[in-house]
Amino acid sequence: MAARTESLGRAHPAARAKREPSAPAADLERELRVYRHMVLLRLLDERMLTLQRQGRVGFYGSCYGQEAATLGSAAVLDAGDWIFPALREGGAMLLRGYPLVSYLCQIFGNSGDPTKGRQMPSHQAAASVHQVSWSSVIGTQLPQAVGAAHAARLRGEPTVVMAYLGDGATSSADFHHALTFAARLKAPVVFCCQNNQWSISLPVSRQTAAPELALKGAAYGVPSKRVDGNDLAAVLEAAGEAVAAARAGEGPRFLELLTYRLGAHSSSDDPTRYRDQKEVDRWLARDPLQLERLRLVEAGVWDEEREGALRGEQAEVIARAVAEAEAFPPPSPETLFEDLYADPPWIVSEQREALRAELAEAPRKKPGA
Ligand SMILES: Cc1ncc(C[n+]2csc(CCOP(=O)(O)OP(=O)(O)O)c2C)c(N)n1
Ligand SMILES: [Mg+2]
């Protein structure tokens, strides 16, 4: 059988991740770089959820608990590779150099948002860092990612596409279509399935009878592997191998990143209504930030002082960026008419003129006025 799965086994989630005694310096340097972004993302998520509760942000979806899976997998990509995200991979854009202020303006939905406030908050996208929009409609990004990967292959480009999905998305019809075509076409796509154990209020045990989601990838003929998604080094290694194989023309790969959604599904959800805090506590003991911090301390490249300094710096970076982003006014209503037609038909031009006239007559109230 061409496809295979490699299992972590049924380790207790609180078990310590297996550690290499001494990692090469280049690996540690990369881990440090990703760790810094993991901390940034954690602090950013906390800040954004507070702003959401204060009514300054409409909606927010956090990555809490999944930082190693998200940023470790994205960190192995080249700048020319593309990300087709699911729900929680916006932070990968920051890792790949997207400006924090523009990122925040998307969350505020204001005129500093390059996507002009047209998407729900947290549905980030930027061509500059090769990331398409977060897909709210579960699974739809998967066939699109396969199409993009196949197109790159036809053009002879070295591009790899990273397609993210949640455990819930493995039940979608689009998952079936995407994996069928990816394997058949040998598309250079890596499916990164973040098994965070929950699809809103549905636990993975009620989502599927498959004992491992990696088995689903294997069923389509895609070499598949289950990886400890809370262990940054393990994610970096597995994602690095998968991307290298896809880039070398060996076809798609499927990674099940075993992790846990420590927070609510989104700012609109209250998980205390459907899940046991004891389960959350067990996974808190395997917080990916804590695991990586221990690893870096053991390797002698990190300590409490550096941790404190990093957190202080990043809290300041976030505070400054929030102040800068919040100062942008809302997008102009006229942006409604932009970006759809190269040559707008008369009816659109007429509507635009009508809106202009109306705005000139009754100037728009300033926010907060
Ligand atoms: C096609 C479709 N069905 C249902 C929903 C409602 N919905 C939004 S998120 C979600 C759960 C997704 O779970 P999972 O794929 O595990 O991702 P996670 O939220 O855990 O990251 C559902 C069912 C949707 N957005 N799209
Ligand atoms: Mg899930």
Q: Are 63 and 88 in contact (CB under 8 A)?
A: yes
The secondary element (H helix, E strand) that includes residue 6 is strand 5-6
For a mutational test of ligand 1's pocket, the pick from 84, 87, 134, i.e. the residue with the most ligand atoms closer than 8 A to its C-beta, is 87
Residue 177 lies in a domain: yes
Residue nearest to atom 13 of ligand 1 (CA): 199
Ligand index nearest the alpha carbon of residue 196: 2
> Comparing C-alpha atoms, which of 114, 79, 109, 73 is closest to residue 91?
73
Considering the domain boundaries, does residue 14 fall inside one? no
Judgement on whether residues 347 and 321 belong to the same structural domain of the protein: no
Residue 295 CA to residue 307 CA, distance in Å, equals 13
| Predicted pLDDT at 347 | 95
Residue 364 and residue 300 share a domain? no
If asked whether residues 345 and 320 sit together in one domain, one would say: no
Q: CATH no. for residue 286?
A: 3.40.50.970
Cβ neighbours of residue 151 under 8 Å, at least 6 residues apart? none
Whether residue 9 is contained in a domain is answered as: no
CA of residue 188 relative to chain centroid, distance: 19
Residues 85, 169 within the same domain: yes
In a domain, 265, yes or no: yes
Same domain for 278 and 341, yes or no, is: no
Q: Are residues 248 and 357 in the same domain?
A: no
Q: Give me the helices (H) in 259-329, please.
A: 277-284, 288-298, 304-326
> Domain for residue 100, yes or no?
yes
What is the secondary structure of 112-123 as a DSSP string?
Answer: T-TTTT-S-TT-
List the pLDDT tens digit at each of the 369 positions of the chain.
334 444 443 333 444 444 555 678 889 999 999 999 999 999 999 999 999 999 999 999 999 999 999 999 999 999 999 999 999 999 999 999 999 999 999 999 999 999 999 999 999 999 999 999 987 899 999 999 999 999 999 999 999 999 999 999 999 999 999 999 999 999 999 999 999 999 999 999 999 999 999 999 999 999 999 999 999 999 999 999 999 999 999 999 999 999 999 999 999 999 999 999 999 999 999 999 999 999 999 999 999 999 999 999 999 999 999 999 999 999 999 899 999 899 999 999 999 999 999 998 876 655 444
Kindly state if the Cβ of 198 falls inside 6 Å of ligand 1: yes
Shared-domain flag, residues 134 and 276 = yes
Whether residues 115 and 157 fall in one domain = yes
- How many domains, the chain? 2
Distances (CA, A) of 170 to 46, 50, 108, 149: 29, 32, 31, 19
State how far the Cα of 212 lies from the Cα of 9, in Å rounded to an integer.
Answer: 10
User: Rounded to an integer, what is the distance from CA 51 to the centroid of its chain?
Assistant: 20
Kindly state the helix (H) or strand (E) to which residue 215 belongs, with its residue range: helix 214-219
Task: Please work out whether the CB of residue 226 comes within 6 Å of at least one atom of ligand 1.
Answer: no
**75 and 205 together in one domain:** yes
Q: Residue 349: enclosing H or E segment and its boundaries?
A: helix 346-361
Pairing state between β 198-199 and 202-203: antiparallel
Rg from Cα positions in the chain: 22
Same domain, 203 and 341: no
Specify whether 261 is catalytic.
yes
- What pLDDT is stored for residue 135 in this prediction? 79
Q: Rounded distance, CA 120 to CA 220, Å?
A: 33
SS3 317: helix
Tell me if residue 274 is catalytic.
Answer: yes
Same domain, 284 and 343: no
Range of the domain at 344: 332-369
Rounded to whole angstroms, how far apart are CA atoms 122 and 347?
33
User: 175 C-alpha vs ligand 1 centroid, how far in Å?
Assistant: 13
Distance of alpha carbon 103 from its chain centroid, rounded?
A: 13
Whether 57 is in a domain gets the answer yes
Same domain, residue pair 276 and 339? no
Q: Is the CB of 87 under 6 A from ligand 1?
A: yes
